[in-house]
A and B are shown apart, each in its own frame.
Chain A
């Protein structure tokens, strides 16, 4: 009798344990990485507080390279923004974006009690567009700029967030190797220079709104001949094409009256490149601080003022996933240059559904300059009407 009780007791106890354990492990669904940050909103966590203590962009500066390819930790925000359009031998088209953001949590470094302690945080966005398969995949990462987990250095140039990396292959910044890998997607590309570096705005000072200091230091490499490989679902594609690097650092940018922007980086087959960003005002108008740059085939460049460019949205696309609406294409005209371009996304859904939500994707360009037919491609970024915090 005692033994039976004993067994029954043990059996019941083990059954309870097994049930409890199974239940515990099966119940909660695994949240995505970065959830701790999502849960509190990137706004309160990674930006948005007073500018006091940070350096700001008040006036043009003397750019020094390669030092300025590296980080500027005294400014709050900084990015290395690489986009490009690539094709394989069969003509299959790909677009890619690898952006590494540096975000300072405080203007000065904290107590150095541990190698993990830092005020520098890195955020990365990686996206690949496969036009043939009508697929766009985007990933996001965060890590601290310490312990070698993420960081940036000028010479040799290396900017990395774990195994997402832009790195010089030699002592010169270029050729630059761009590598990123996540899940079943990987890129490994070599970027070379075809045109000299262009300082945007006024000698590299890109004023974004009226308040002094609401500006960034901004330079671009608008045409980087690119070759390498793309791995997708276990398939390897040897690709070539052209990339674009934007470099920008700032502490504050948009004024209270501004609500967002549409940004174009277009590479035309006559050798010219067009950059233009249109700053939207909350009242619906176009902000006069909008501007752009026209880079000639020989590398000479001139600023495009806000009233030199006429932009018309073509249709609208509503994200089936978020319900956000974006223009489905654009007509971009520069009358002074007799340029008339139609910008069409290579696929409609290139929405970046990440901590910061925006649309960024590969676009095809058709049109004419004077009477000549013109083709091209590029990248288009459109923010939602709510301005994300970390980006000016």
Chain B
């Protein structure tokens, strides 16, 4: 291949900088979105690993307890009576910073004498300011990370506690961490006499296995011996569904991007068919031409990928905060301050960008190579071929739809769900050109009445199917994803709103302020405070709740021990079973209700049994029913108070719901309760509306990232409309010149262009609606169910559909502006002369 050949080939894109720029921008946006999501996911995961590892350290095993943790005497007995070492006690929890609202800091209470084999804290105590004496003796001494400075003030309930630095923790892993002596942590977190866990390093192999077996026999029934690695893995798995969803979203953006690239490359080939024919006549071989077009695509891909890389890193640093926030709301407290840029992520982004571009350019390059030498491939010939291909497209599209449907129907995994989803999208995309021709025919009688210009515009769209078809398909895919994701989020939100509204049907809710801060959740209502709640005039009934994390086959689930007033019972939507029988069974305390995600995940239903580790070891409970629940994807188990006290011996109550008597105003009751409770225990009293508001805020926060991704997809789509239609109209300069020469005014040409682009935008928008709804249905009924186990209502907001349509047409009309402006300025003679 000669330089001349390259110059001939590349002259075109260089002469059309707009088209070139938009193509590169399309690739860049696709790559950027994928890369950003990937970076955000990796960073969150890295942050999670760091957080886990800084707590787990080198421990091979861990002794864990029931609701109150592990009695500290167990540790003494382990060391003194059984000589088990290395063993290290740990007390850990979160407290909010007093001076930085919303920031939680993790307290890690350790025993400096037992600590060294476990965590690498010592390695970071190189500073001269480490003061072991202070750490052991002063109740306000702590090892603080550099970022926290020399002291930090925390909040617990109404108290403010200031910790002073007795040593500096260095390293990213220790950000947001406060290390104290175990005594200090117990005091700070109110865990008198309790440990969260005891870490052990048992030898590898049979000796360790033997020791583990002995320990299991010896441990009190409410304690378990576990491998922390497995436990961490379980938590990682749970959040995997979340990152999988994000990754899928970013891949949707890439699919849209690929369509755009394909569109752009096809255009650049079609526009140069004369040149390509000429090159063939001059002796350029088929293979050279094919390589040339692919090479050109590679250059474009490279430029787009580079730009996308920069954009992606920038975007990723914004997304990581959103991801972290969602994870904090959904799963566990995680602080990620840094974007971890893994070389793998960059490599993946680059490979995706280049491969997607090459794949998209493959067909156009083949088309270019097929151009007969010397002859100018007539447009009529091309269009005929396209029209002939319509039935095949129709068949292939229907086939893909059927295939996608089949995959969704027979599979059960989340990955297969996504595969089916992508097949459906592809099928819809292939069906777009035939559907467009159908729409053109349908609208013909209408346009006939609107006059010549409308008729011309209408026929033009169908006549230029080779160019318009792909463009409209690309736009359709872009807009349908935004419709699909939008409908899914709306449906989810309305489901959650109805659920929370029904569930929180009491007038007031009472809990310790510590719970509110997101800090220590072990704070309880004192018996005195409960007595006041029950005896205050105007209180019709109260329900009490006690939530604790338990493990079900190594997965964390929430056990809710409840004493429900009849009104509270009606707030739970039972999915199956007769309400009366179910509640009667439940009140015996021998049967539990389980949430829908738990039932789905473990294939459980009413009548089955479930074994829970209680204060007295494993106990099997009957499942009385399954209730609708969006509160936790891990699952929640509802147990009557009587059963809880029988098997856990824990009289504590974490929060209470208060129903006001019919003749009492809730606001008055709130004031009355506040006055009476004030001297007894500082408690937070909230109305149901407050809590519903908080819940919906959390929901919206969780879906911020989804909305951001949706906006990005819209952005990609709009760039696509611009580049596709711009190219289409610019290519027709000669045609317009002829029309001008035959007497059409610039205004009329403008009208024609606007009508055409508007029609194409409208077609893409219209077709995107059913596709989007199909997508939403799959997201709601297949993807969400498989990922999280909950069933959602299907709720369509008509405004969203109208918005999409308007956006599609608006973007299309915008794309027409520049060609019109150029057309108006161009002298028809110049355009004609070039022929």
Contact = CB atoms under 8 A, between A and B. Distances in A.
Q: Real complex partners, A and B?
A: yes
Given A5-B251, A16-B342, A20-B49, A33 B114 contact: yes
Contact of A36 (B75, B125, B192, B347): B125
B125 A39 contact: yes
Contacts of A35: 116-117, 122
Interface string A99-117: 0000001100011011111
B75 A114 contact: no
A238 interface: no
Contacts of A5: 251, 254, 352, 355
The contact size tier of chain A is 35 or more
Interface string B464-503: 0000000000000000000000000000000000000000
A117 B80 contact: no
A21 B50 CA distance: 10
Interface stretch (A140-148, A224-232, A307-315, A343-351): A140-148
Interface stretch (B99-107, B130-138, B543-551): B130-138
A149 B137 CA distance: 17
A91 to B, nearest CB: 31
Contacts of B75: 147, 149
B186 A116 contact: yes
B116 A34 contact: yes
Interface residues of B, number: 63
Contacts of A17: 45
Interface in B240-256: 247, 251, 254-255
Interface stretch (B144-152, B414-422, B695-703, B729-737): B414-422
A2 B255 contact: yes
B193 to A, nearest CB: 7
Contacts of A234: none
A119 B138 CA distance: 10
B98 interface: no
A2 B251 contact: yes
A162 interface: yes
Interface stretch (A23-31, A71-79, A82-90, A363-371): A23-31
A25 B130 CA distance: 27
A32 B116 contact: yes
Nearest to B125: A39
B631 interface: no
Nearest to B359: A1
Given A31-B116, A149-B79, A39 B122 contact: yes
A356 to B, nearest CB: 16
A12 interface: yes
Contacts of A105: 133, 136-137
Given A32-B117, A110-B137, A115 B72 contact: yes
Given A9-B348, A106-B133, A142-B113, A148 B418 contact: no
B122 A160 contact: no
Contacts of B111: 116, 144
B182 A162 contact: no
Contacts of A148: 73, 76, 80
Contact of A28 (B120, B247, B418): B120
Given A21-B49, A149-B79, A3 B113 contact: no
Contact of A114 (B49, B85, B187, B344): B187
Contacts of A31: 116-117, 122
Contact of B130 (A6, A24, A40, A142): A40
Contacts of A142: 113
B675 interface: no
A16 B344 contact: yes
28 contacts: A5-B251, A6-B419, A13-B42, A16-B344, A21-B49, A24-B49, A28-B58, A30-B201, A33-B85, A34-B116, A39-B122, A39-B125, A105-B133, A105-B137, A113-B187, A114-B182, A114-B186, A116-B72, A116-B182, A116-B186, A117-B183, A119-B136, A121-B113, A143-B79, A144-B136, A149-B76, A160-B80, A162-B79
Interface of A: 1-3, 5-6, 9-10, 12-13, 16-17, 20-21, 24-25, 28, 30-37, 39-40, 44-46, 105-106, 110-111, 113-119, 121, 142-144, 147-149, 160, 162-163, 181
